[in-house]
């Protein structure tokens, strides 16, 4: 009788002290990641501004805005003369080289500090574009490293890139130095979060995967956004804000000494001694007494699987992502996952940026968007717990798509809408897309075999980031028809929901470890099988899980 990884993990503890520590550290990382990722937006806020004139020094911002209102480009028009009462101002043909800024909550952004506005506004966009180029490169680089040198080492290296990039940004004065520093910072934009997600997922029970991971991510990501907004206001300067964004990333180095390397990944590398050592440490931390016979059964299972893989396919010894495309069912599933995740990411970025025309502070919008994350995470967790990942993804995609199209059409033909109503509608859509993104991320991760999970997710994230470049062009269509972007988003989400129906359910199932297991995973499952027998399946799985844990508890005493 052999014992596979899921069984030995139950005996070592898959919902105990070590797993709660993992979730706490994952929450800390999400707090830091949210600040790192959205620092790009915070430092780039452009306050209301007007070209400087000595006769404007003692006037209020409202008076200055009224004086410039008649001009086509009020922010970039230089005045030649102004009457005492502010009327009949004349424009100058000379370009503007000094501005008056109306700082939002007193925060001096990078654009205002470096005067990157009007004709120089492109400089900030170039630097921000390099951030996303770095994100694509870093996602692929650290994803491949995650499968080569291990998850935890890749997480630490990614955060060091984030620290170095954010630190260099503080001293940026020119376009070249700013672009270079943002590229380095972008290397960690996605890699650090999803690598840690993989590491936690491989050590926790199926129940904690749904409840613990989603709630932890949503709550701490929300706290990070709120903290970033108000800390920027409190500090008052973008350079000071970047200091407090860079320094916390050094804390992630300590993860190397606190977190065990993925035992599943070590098994796929044929390092059975290393995998057993990590499991022993987890059992000791969880105060679980696991017999030597159990470890021996686990080793026998690993050796049996290794010999079977060698006899059937030589690819298992050095499993690579390219090898997964040689297996027809696994290849088809990976293509589906890539398409679904890319579409959802594109829709998320399009909806997140669709806030133009609102007379509200960007700091306030940040906080409002952040507050939708915890309820969306709780909602996602409960739906996944009772109905599964596939059901949650399909239903959330469909509902969010229809709600987004309805909102766009309503805002198009309701000409006298208020900013409050518009914000509320956008928050509803933001709630839906947050549920969709979370459920898609989880099912995509769980469907990927462990041996290529890091590199596979890296390719998926790179593809999604590349596709997201068209989101500004989708939003630009709103200038011709206000509901255009909403209708396109709806169509994309409906297509994504249909493709998601072709994927396999992962709830309460042993995740594929090798490429061969990935090929057989979900075999015989039909498109709508996930709709049948939720309650019976829950009772069966929960009772089996309970019996396993009771057996482990008896050994403890």
Give ranges for CATH 1.20.1250.20 in the chain.
323-535
Q: Which position has the higher pLDDT, 317 or 198?
A: 198
* pLDDT the model gives residue 241: 94
Which own/partner contact pairs does 289-293 have at CB distance under 8 Å and 24+ positions apart? 289/555, 289/556, 290/8, 290/11, 290/12, 290/552, 290/555, 291/555
Judged by DSSP in three states, 91 sits in: strand
- Token pair 């169509």 in the structure block, residue: 491
Extract the tokens encoding 475: 């939003």
Q: Which one-letter DSSP state was computed for residue 259?
A: S
CATH fold for the domain made of 323-535:
Growth Hormone; Chain: A; (1.20.1250)
* pLDDT the model gives residue 539: 41
Burial of 14 (0-12, 13-18, 19+ CB in 10 A): buried
Q: pLDDT (tens digit, 9 = 90+) per residue, 490-508?
A: 999 999 999 999 888 877 7
* Radius of gyration for the alpha carbons in the chain, expressed in angstroms and rounded: 26
* pLDDT the model gives residue 415: 64
In this prediction, residue 479 has a pLDDT band, given cuts at 50, 70 and 90, of: low
Could you write out the DSSP letters of every residue in 320-332?
-HHHHTTSHHHHH
Q: pLDDT (tens digit, 9 = 90+) per residue, 62-115?
A: 888 888 877 777 778 888 777 766 667 777 778 888 888 888 888 998 888 898
In this prediction, residue 463 has a pLDDT band, given cuts at 50, 70 and 90, of: confident
In this prediction, residue 553 has a pLDDT band, given cuts at 50, 70 and 90, of: very low
Question: What sign does the CA torsion over 69, 72, 77, 83 have?
Answer: negative
Report d(CA 485, CA 530) in Å as an integer. Answer: 32
* pLDDT the model gives residue 354: 65
In this prediction, residue 380 has a pLDDT band, given cuts at 50, 70 and 90, of: confident
* pLDDT the model gives residue 543: 35
* pLDDT the model gives residue 271: 85
* Chain centroid, CA 441 distance in Å: 8
pLDDT at 223 over 50: yes
- Residue 91, beta-bridge partner list: 79
Report d(CA 285, CA 223) in Å as an integer. Answer: 29
Q: pLDDT (tens digit, 9 = 90+) per residue, 120-151?
A: 877 887 887 788 788 888 888 887 888 788 88
Report d(CA 451, CA 110) in Å as an integer. Answer: 43
Report d(CA 414, CA 96) in Å as an integer. Answer: 39
Range with the lowest mean pLDDT among 122-136, 377-391, 455-469, 527-541? 527-541
Please state the φ and ψ torsions of residue 553, each to the nearest 5 degrees. -65, -35
Q: Which residues contact 168 (CB under 8 A, 6 or more apart)?
A: 177, 180, 181, 184, 185
Q: Which position has the higher pLDDT, 234 or 537?
A: 234
* pLDDT the model gives residue 194: 76
* pLDDT the model gives residue 210: 66
Q: Which position has the higher pLDDT, 452 or 233?
A: 233
Report the mean per-residue pLDDT for the chain: 81
Give pTM, 2 decimals.
Answer: 0.74
Q: pLDDT (tens digit, 9 = 90+) per residue, 279-295?
A: 999 999 999 888 888 88
Measure CA of the first residue to CA of the last residue in the chain; give whole Å.
24
Mean pLDDT of 251-256: 92
Q: Taking a C-beta distance cutoff of 8 angstroms, is the pair 429, 351 a contact?
A: yes
Mean pLDDT of 33-39: 87
Mean pLDDT of 382-405: 88
Helices then strands, counting H and E runs in the chain, come out as: 25, 4
pLDDT at 163 over 90: yes
Q: pLDDT (tens digit, 9 = 90+) per residue, 44-69?
A: 887 888 888 887 777 888 888 888 87
* pLDDT the model gives residue 398: 94
Mean pLDDT of 507-529: 78
* pLDDT the model gives residue 312: 56
* pLDDT the model gives residue 254: 92
* pLDDT the model gives residue 547: 37
In this prediction, residue 160 has a pLDDT band, given cuts at 50, 70 and 90, of: very high
Q: Which position has the higher pLDDT, 47 or 472?
A: 47
CA atoms within 13 A on the CB side of 135: 23
């Amino acid at each position: 009788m052999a014992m596979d990884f899921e069984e030995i993990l139950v005996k070592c503890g898959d919902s105990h002290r070590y797993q709660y520590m993992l979730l706490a550290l994952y929450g800390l990382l999400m707090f830091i990641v949210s600040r790192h990722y959205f620092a790009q937006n915070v430092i780039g806020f452009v306050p209301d501004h007007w070209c400087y004139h000595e006769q404007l020094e003692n006037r209020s911002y409202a008076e200055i805005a009224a004086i410039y209102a008649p001009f086509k480009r009020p922010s970039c028009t230089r005045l030649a003369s102004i009457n005492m009462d502010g009327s009949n101002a004349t424009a100058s043909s000379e370009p503007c080289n000094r501005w008056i800024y109306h700082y939002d909550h007193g925060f001096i952004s990078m654009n205002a500090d470096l005067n990157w506005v009007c004709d120089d506004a492109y400089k900030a966009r170039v630097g921000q574009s390099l951030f996303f180029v770095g994100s694509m490169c870093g996602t692929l680089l650290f994803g491949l490293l995650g499968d080569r040198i291990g998850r935890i080492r890749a997480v630490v290296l990614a955060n060091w890139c984030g620290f170095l990039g954010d630190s260099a940004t503080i001293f940026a004065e020119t376009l070249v130095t700013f672009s270079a520093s943002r590229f380095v910072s972008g290397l960690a934009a996605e890699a650090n979060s999803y690598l840690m997600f993989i590491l936690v997922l491989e050590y926790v029970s199926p129940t904690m995967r749904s409840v613990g991971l989603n709630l932890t991510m949503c709550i701490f990501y929300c706290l990070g956004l709120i903290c970033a907004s108000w800390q920027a206001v409190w500090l008052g300067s973008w350079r000071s804000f970047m200091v407090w964004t860079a320094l916390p990333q050094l804390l992630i180095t300590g993860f190397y000494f606190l977190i065990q390397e993925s035992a599943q990944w070590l098994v796929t590398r044929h390092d059975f001694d290393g995998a057993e050592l990590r499991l022993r440490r987890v059992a000791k931390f969880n105060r679980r007494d696991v017999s030597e016979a159990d470890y021996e059964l686990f080793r026998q299972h690993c050796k049996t699987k290794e010999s079977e893989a060698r006899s059937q396919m030589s690819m298992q010894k050095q499993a690579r992502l390219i090898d997964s495309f040689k297996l027809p069912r696994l290849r088809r599933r990976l293509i589906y996952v890539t398409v679904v995740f890319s579409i959802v990411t594109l829709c998320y970025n399009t909806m997140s940026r669709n806030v133009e025309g609102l007379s509200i502070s960007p700091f306030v919008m940040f906080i409002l968007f952040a507050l939708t994350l915890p309820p969306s995470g709780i909602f996602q967790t409960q739906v996944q717990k009772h109905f599964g990942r596939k059901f949650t993804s399909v239903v959330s995609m469909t509902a969010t798509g229809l709600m987004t199209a309805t909102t766009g059409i309503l805002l198009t033909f309701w000409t006298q809408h208020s900013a409050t109503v518009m914000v509320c509608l956008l928050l509803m859509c933001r709630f839906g897309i947050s549920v969709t993104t979370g459920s898609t991320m989880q099912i995509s991760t769980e469907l990927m075999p462990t041996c290529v999970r890091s590199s596979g997710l890296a390719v998926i994230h790179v593809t999604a980031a590349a596709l997201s470049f068209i989101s500004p062009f989708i939003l630009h269509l709103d200038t011709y028809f206000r509901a255009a972007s909403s209708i396109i988003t709806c169509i994309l989400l409906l297509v994504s929901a249909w493709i998601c129906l072709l994927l396999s359910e992962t709830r309460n199932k042993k995740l594929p470890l090798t490429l061969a297991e990935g090929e057989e995973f979900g075999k015989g499952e039909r498109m709508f099988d996930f709709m049948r027998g939720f309650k019976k399946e829950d009772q069966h799985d929960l009772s089996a899980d309970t019996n396993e844990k009771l057996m482990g508890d008896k050994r403890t005493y």
